[in-house]
């Protein structure tokens, strides 16, 4: 009974719609939620600028999802790509599937996490003695259909970052040990954050994040006072705050759900696709990931605005977020602020200042 009560007890989360400023980060997170295939977002900025608060706030804002009851992978009841093997077998055997609604999973990856903790482990002894695959799911299983947040991703072991990016891109996690292999769905929005003072991520890894948002400490004293006052007020009376922002939160939630439903029918014209690729080419972006992500993000932005056709305005809002971190060739160079991307964008799309 006590466990059940604890399960229902949630710490209050600062409302997403109450967050002041940090527009780049908020937009990137919303677009990734509308289309997780954008490939996640890397947020770089000063300490104490509300990175963790914003990420928890977007997870709290999202609608509940329906999962197969007591399933370790948050399996979907009908989508094969979001379903563990046991659920697939149960459906094939005509068994009745029980479901429940849960909040979107928001998994924090601790900095000292091991590969076993992230990917899960196979109990070889149990497998050999009892003849069954004894799999202990890791954080990737828990994050399926949710968000996986890695704070200080630039301090994480490169090998682990690789695993996270592979799973985020493929939507699957495979664990192999002593000839036994387990594969399960791991479709999540990967959000990494870091402080540039502690070192940049290697360009090969950085390129695999769909978007890159930069956040800066607010300089305007009036705005700083407002942020401090709002945070203090929330800490004192969280229930009042959550109630005050309830209608704004619901409106944004409805907007995101509508955008997710509209997304498959959004059209991006051939001439605009050509120009996006011309921008990538002139910026000397390696590979085609930049083109693909920009196309996806532009469609998600149009859907977010409730339109089924992408405009130049949509592209202008997202192209810097999608390309600025793909320009570096020398690991010692810092990330372009976006001026270079913006300049080439205006030239290609013939936009006058």
Give yes or no for a contact between 180 and 161, defined as CB atoms under 8 angstroms apart.
Answer: no
What are 143-171's pLDDT values in tens digits?
998 999 988 887 888 888 888 888 888 88
The domain locations on the chain are 2-62+103-216, 263-348
- The pLDDT assigned to 6 comes to 43
DSSP for residue 124: H
Q: What average pLDDT does this structure show over 203-225?
A: 82
Which position among 56, 289, 324, 326 bears the catalytic label? 289
User: Would you say residue 353 has pLDDT above 80?
Assistant: no
- The pLDDT assigned to 131 comes to 54
What are 120-150's pLDDT values in tens digits?
888 777 666 665 567 888 899 899 989 999 8
Rounded to whole angstroms, the Cα distance separating 271 from 269 reads 6
Q: Please give the CATH number for the structural domain made up of 2-62+103-216.
A: 3.40.50.300
Task: Name which residue leads in pLDDT, 328 or 156.
Answer: 156
Q: What average pLDDT does this structure show over 28-36?
A: 92
- The pLDDT assigned to 93 comes to 82
Look at 92-96, 154-158, 178-182, 247-251 and tell me which has the smallest mean pLDDT. 178-182
Q: What percent of the chain has pLDDT over 70?
A: 91
Task: Name which residue leads in pLDDT, 215 or 330.
Answer: 215
Range list of H helices, the chain: 2-8, 23-34, 51-61, 85-92, 115-119, 124-130, 139-143, 158-170, 203-206, 221-236, 238-244, 246-262, 270-282, 289-304, 312-323, 339-348
- The pLDDT assigned to 277 comes to 93
What are 34-92's pLDDT values in tens digits?
998 898 899 888 777 778 888 888 888 888 888 888 888 888 888 888 888 888 888 88
Q: What is the pTM of this model?
A: 0.87
For the chain, the average pLDDT equals 84
- The pLDDT assigned to 266 comes to 94
Give yes or no for a contact between 301 and 318, defined as CB atoms under 8 angstroms apart.
Answer: yes
- 29 confidence band (pLDDT: 50, 70, 90): very high
- The pLDDT assigned to 335 comes to 60
User: Would you say residue 208 has pLDDT above 70?
Assistant: yes
Q: What average pLDDT does this structure show over 269-294?
A: 91
- The pLDDT assigned to 1 comes to 44
Q: Between 1.10.8.80, 3.30.930.10, 3.60.20.10, 1.10.760.10, what CATH number should domain 263-348 receive?
A: 1.10.8.80
Rounded to whole angstroms, the Cα distance separating 83 from 308 reads 30
Q: What average pLDDT does this structure show over 279-299?
A: 91
193, β-bridge pairs: 43, 151
- Is residue 43 within a helix (H) or strand (E), and if so which, with residue range? strand 41-45
- The pLDDT assigned to 331 comes to 52
- Any catalytic annotation for residue 273? no
- 328 confidence band (pLDDT: 50, 70, 90): low
- 5 confidence band (pLDDT: 50, 70, 90): very low
SS3 212: strand
């Amino acid at each position: 009974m006590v466990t059940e009560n604890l399960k229902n007890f949630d710490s209050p989360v600062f409302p997403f719609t109450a967050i002041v400023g940090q527009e780049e980060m908020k937009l990137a997170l919303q677009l990734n939620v509308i289309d997780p295939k954008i490939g996640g977002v890397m947020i770089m900025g000063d300490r104490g600028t509300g990175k963790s608060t914003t990420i928890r706030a977007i997870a709290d804002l999202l609608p509940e999802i329906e999962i197969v009851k007591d399933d370790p992978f948050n399996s979907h009841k009908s989508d094969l790509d979001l379903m563990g093997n046991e659920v697939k077998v149960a459906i094939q055997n005509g068994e009745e599937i029980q479901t429940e609604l849960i909040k979107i999973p928001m998994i924090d990856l601790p900095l000292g996490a091991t590969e076993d903790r992230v990917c899960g482990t196979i109990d070889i002894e149990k497998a050999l003695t009892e003849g069954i695959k004894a799999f202990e799911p890791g954080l990737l299983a828990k994050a399926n259909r949710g968000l996986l947040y890695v704070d200080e991703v630039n301090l994480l072991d490169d090998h682990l970052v690789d695993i996270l990016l592979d799973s985020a891109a493929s939507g699957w996690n495979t664990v192999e040990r002593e000839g036994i292999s387990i594969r399960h769905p791991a479709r999540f929005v990967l959000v990494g954050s870091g402080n540039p003072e502690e070192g940049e991520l290697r360009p090969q890894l950085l390129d695999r994040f769909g978007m890159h948002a930069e956040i800066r400490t607010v300089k305007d004293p009036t705005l700083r006072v407002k942020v401090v006052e709002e945070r203090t007020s929330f800490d004192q009376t969280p229930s009042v705050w959550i109630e005050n922002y309830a209608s704004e939160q619901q409106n944004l939630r409805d907007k995101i759900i509508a955008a997710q439903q509209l997304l498959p029918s959004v059209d991006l014209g051939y001439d605009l696709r050509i120009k996006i690729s011309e921008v990538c080419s002139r910026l000397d972006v390696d590979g085609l990931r930049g083109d693909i992500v920009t196309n996806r993000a532009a469609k998600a932005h149009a859907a977010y605005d409730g339109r089924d056709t992408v405009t130049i305005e949509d592209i202008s809002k997202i192209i810097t977020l999608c390309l600025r971190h793909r320009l570096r060739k020398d690991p010692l160079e810092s990330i372009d602020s976006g001026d270079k991307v913006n300049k080439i964008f205006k030239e290609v799309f013939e936009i006058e200042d």
